[in-house]
Structure 1
Amino acid sequence: MQGNASLNSAMREAGFKQGESAEAVNEYLRLHGYDGTVSDRTVRNWLTGKTHWPHPRQREALEAVFGCTAEALGFSPPTAGPPDSEPESPVRRRNFLTATTGTAAAVVVTPIVDSRPTSVGTSDVIRLRSGLDALMALDAARGGHEGLERAALAGADEALEKVGLAASQRIRQRLFSVAANYIATAAWAAIDGHQLDRAQTRLDRALYLAGMAKDPVAQMRVWNSYAMLARQRDQHTEAVDAGYAAQATVIARRDPFYGSLAHARTAVAHANVGDRQAAIRSLGYAHEALEKAPPDEPRPSWVSFYGVAELTAIKAIVWGRIGDAARSEAASHQALSAIPRHFRRNRALATTRLALAQVHQREVEQATTAAASVFELMSGNPIPGRLRSLLGDFYRDLITLVPDARVAQEWGDRYRSEWSRA
């Protein structure tokens, strides 16, 4: 009997096991006045293909939970006989799905005439999580900014407001996890915007909520950001400690993908301390771990930036910090050939590091051309504070290393206004 690969894929993407899928479907059914009778066995029958066309109400619930038609979930109607489905209410389904406008996720719940208080279940968690995906897509294109930070904090507030109405302790923990990730997103926006005190406050709160959620992925995310924040504050020993803390999380020990990111972040910290051997060793660990990571494993959107291309960009940072400009330049070129186009801010950062590597080799024309292209990459949006700071490092090194080069002064005169764009 052929299994239902489409449903299995949808469940993996949502992070659901059989019991959690059953819970989500039952939540929808109860929300609309029906008994929630879907069990683990029911879901298993769907996955194995034993049930190829679920009951009409179950199909409606499945479509609402996963946001696509029953056919797209791998089910097929009987080829003969009268239709057994009742017309689907488009209003009901729309109200169950996520509504995302601008940068904030709006959760809309169908009103029910009932004297009992509305409980919060899996469907609410799904809607809140989808808002995180919208924010991370905005970050990839534009970078961190105050609007993104405010939207993330609003998402966290909404998740925390629902904790008291959670249908179970499991739902409470999931809501804490969602809130932790929203606040970690706000912290990241502050880091990218170079608002370091705000970022510290946000990370402290996110780590507390991740602990309440017992969510090792969120904990790893926060420690990764702590390492980046410490780097911006020139607290390089603290950045090494944060890298080690990220490595010690359960998810980094269990999943080589996260382990690779933790080792890569530690490598940057070692390079900033000046420990060349430790930095190179950590890069080696990061590379080995990434090779072991399953490529198609579903992971949250905040970590979608990481992979071979980003690890190569991190290698460029490490080589540059330990004084090997030629290797840094080579790694930067390699990273830029692989970083996806929609990661505009990441491409702009890698391009600036390329310019830094070139100016350290006195390749002035190439360096200024590369640095100038950063403004084209970020055209139409303010320059995030972290990127502005890196461009400042480039200009400082440019006028220090080649003070008599006419092109150095021309670059500063031409791009000073764009560089300070906020």
Structure 2
Amino acid sequence: MTENVLLASHMEAAGLKQAELAQRLNKHIERLTGRPGTLQDRHIRNWLTGKTSWPQTRQRLALEAEFDVPAEALGFRRPMRHGSSEHPASSHAPSEDPVKRRRFTSAAVGFAASALLPVPAAASRRRIGMGDLDELETAFDQLVASDNLAGGTVKLETRALAFAHHAQERLAVGTMSERVKDRLYLLAAAFTGTALWAAVDDHAPDRARGHLERALHMARLSKNPEIELRLWGHAALLAAQRPGGLREALDAAQIARRSAACRRDPLFGSFASARLAGVQAQAGDHNGSLRSIEIARRAFQKADPGAQRPAWIGFYDAAELDGLSAVVMSRIGRHAEAEAHLHRTLGGLRPGYVRNRRYYTASLALAQLHQGEPEQACATALSALPDQASDSLTGRTGLLLNRFDKGLTSMAPGAQCTSEWTARYVTNKGQQS
């Protein structure tokens, strides 16, 4: 399991496997200390899994020389315990020779200046045009399709961060027009936003918070209101996952709803209003959530279905609006109406939206269970389970299925349908271990 997605994304961007990175770092260590390094692929694996959260000093400096960013930007965390071998104020052990340390650090700083992202003189920098961005645009479309298919996974998150790194590379080493520069910032924000969404969908708020700040910074530099709307929507969902975060979630959803993108295009207004309705319902504002979902429906009817829009909003159609309406109805306790919306959603979802189908199928099972129909609910929930190991039992869908499992065993503990469900559910959970 990958815990350090920042290191993984830098490795992905550089095309480095674990053994290859170990070899490169050993060369850095030899160049900086005069003695060969002894890193192996197992050390890299320990960093990626989080087993080692703060490498030794020479290893950190080699990493910083290789990737030209601080160790913290590679996902490593300074130890905070008193009396540990390395303190936040000093990244070397007390017994280390200070003269050797200064020589080692100076060499690392000098070497990092010519590492991954050198910035040549303007006269020698390559001119970057819109045509140079085609590869990144295609990659973004592919990531969106992968998200629709499998949902937020660590692999998706890592790849998105790697492509964000590529976009920032071009900003650092090329010359370009204002239009191209804005587009690169937009792509960097969009890729980082996809990593943010993957972490939110995977219900990993600690990772998501780091992505949000970087994505919003890039979005502001891009001057694109559509990407800011997307990010504030993700921020609302992220805040709502945190205990006590509903006030922040409401504020973020309101910012998205007031975006210039909503004024320009009713489809964006519809989407932002539907997301706001979900947060209002979660916060207990039933009347406000019903008003917002009605605003979303009216705006959707005004939207031009043939207008050109970014790939990330492509999922939002009549079926998705019904799905978000179902979320609202479920949260305010109107489960029969939620079920009706969900049947329309599942009947209208396009084939590529596998993640959403599983999510809304699990939601339908819960709506049926809340109406006292355990056998029907069980049959629905069984259809949401994967036939083999996948990420379907993690993240938001996994939480819904866990809620269903607890609700079913409480409502009908001795029923045959409960036994059938439990056997399948336990088997699928075992496949995740």
| Correspondence for 2:135 among 109, 127, 142 | 127
Opposite residue 189 of structure 2, the aligned amino acid is A
Q: Distance in 2 between matches of 1:229 and 1:258?
A: 20
Deviation, structure 1 residue 386: 1.6
- Contact 2:389/2:431 (CA < 8 Å) preserved in 1? no
Deviation, structure 1 residue 404: 4.5
Deviation, structure 1 residue 198: 0.5
Question: CA deviation digits over 1:42-96, x for unaligned, max 9?
Answer: xxxxxxxxxxxxxxxxxxxxxxxxxxxxxxxxxxxxxxxxxxxxxxxxxxxxxxx
Q: How does 1:200-349 map to 2 (within 5 A)?
A: 200-234=209-243, 235-349=245-359
Deviation, structure 1 residue 169: 2.4
Deviation, structure 1 residue 191: 1.2
- Contact 1:315/1:328 (CA < 8 Å) preserved in 2? yes
Q: 1:204 to 1:117 in 2, by over 3 A?
A: closer
Deviation, structure 1 residue 282: 0.4
1:166 counterpart residue number: 175
- Contact 1:135/1:152 (CA < 8 Å) preserved in 2? yes
| Correspondence for 2:153 among 127, 145, 151 | 145
| Correspondence for 2:361 among 329, 337, 351 | 351
Q: Distance in 1 between matches of 2:154 and 2:365?
A: 28
Q: Distance in 2 between matches of 1:405 and 1:417?
A: 19
- Contact 1:391/1:419 (CA < 8 Å) preserved in 2? no
- Partner SS for 2:390: coil
Q: Distance in 1 between matches of 2:342 and 2:203?
A: 23
Opposite residue 220 of structure 1, the aligned amino acid is L
Q: How does 1:23-102 map to 2 (within 5 A)?
A: none
Q: Which moved more, 1:381-390 or 1:274-283?
A: 381-390
Question: CA deviation digits over 1:192-243, x for unaligned, max 9?
Answer: 1121110111011101110011111110010111122122224222222111
Opposite residue 148 of structure 2, the aligned amino acid is A
Q: How does 1:180-219 map to 2 (within 5 A)?
A: 180-219=189-228
Q: 1:233 to 1:412 in 2, by over 3 A?
A: farther
Question: CA deviation digits over 1:6-25, x for unaligned, max 9?
Answer: xxxxxxxxxxxxxxxxxxxx
- Contact 1:312/1:335 (CA < 8 Å) preserved in 2? yes
Deviation, structure 1 residue 388: 0.8
Deviation, structure 1 residue 279: 0.7
Opposite residue 307 of structure 2, the aligned amino acid is E
RMSD: 1.6
| Correspondence for 2:187 among 178, 189, 193 | 178
- Contact 1:320/1:357 (CA < 8 Å) preserved in 2? yes
Q: Distance in 2 between matches of 1:373 and 1:361?
A: 19
Opposite residue 150 of structure 1, the aligned amino acid is T
Gaps of 5+ in 2: 1-122
Deviation, structure 1 residue 119: 1.4
Question: CA deviation digits over 1:338-363, x for unaligned, max 9?
Answer: 01121001001110010000001111
Deviation, structure 1 residue 409: 4.1
Question: CA deviation digits over 1:165-214, x for unaligned, max 9?
Answer: 13122221111110000000011111111211101110111011100111
Q: Which moved more, 1:353-362 or 1:237-246?
A: 237-246
Opposite residue 185 of structure 1, the aligned amino acid is T
1:370 counterpart residue number: 380
- Partner SS for 2:385: helix
- TM-score (ref. length: structure 2): 0.68
Q: Distance in 1 between matches of 2:125 and 2:206?
A: 40
Q: Distance in 2 between matches of 1:404 and 1:331?
A: 31
Gaps of 5+ in 1: 1-114
Q: Distance in 1 between matches of 2:348 and 2:145?
A: 18
Opposite residue 176 of structure 2, the aligned amino acid is A
Opposite residue 268 of structure 1, the aligned amino acid is G
Deviation, structure 1 residue 405: 3.4
1:24 counterpart residue number: none
Q: Distance in 1 between matches of 2:185 and 2:291?
A: 36
Q: Which moved more, 1:260-269 or 1:167-176?
A: 167-176
- Partner SS for 2:126: coil
Deviation, structure 1 residue 379: 4.9
- Contact 1:360/1:401 (CA < 8 Å) preserved in 2? no
Q: 1:176 to 1:255 in 2, by over 3 A?
A: same
Opposite residue 145 of structure 1, the aligned amino acid is T
- Contact 2:388/2:431 (CA < 8 Å) preserved in 1? no
Question: CA deviation digits over 1:262-302, x for unaligned, max 9?
Answer: 00001001111111111110000000111111000111111
- Partner SS for 2:315: coil
Deviation, structure 1 residue 401: 3.2
- Partner SS for 1:337: helix
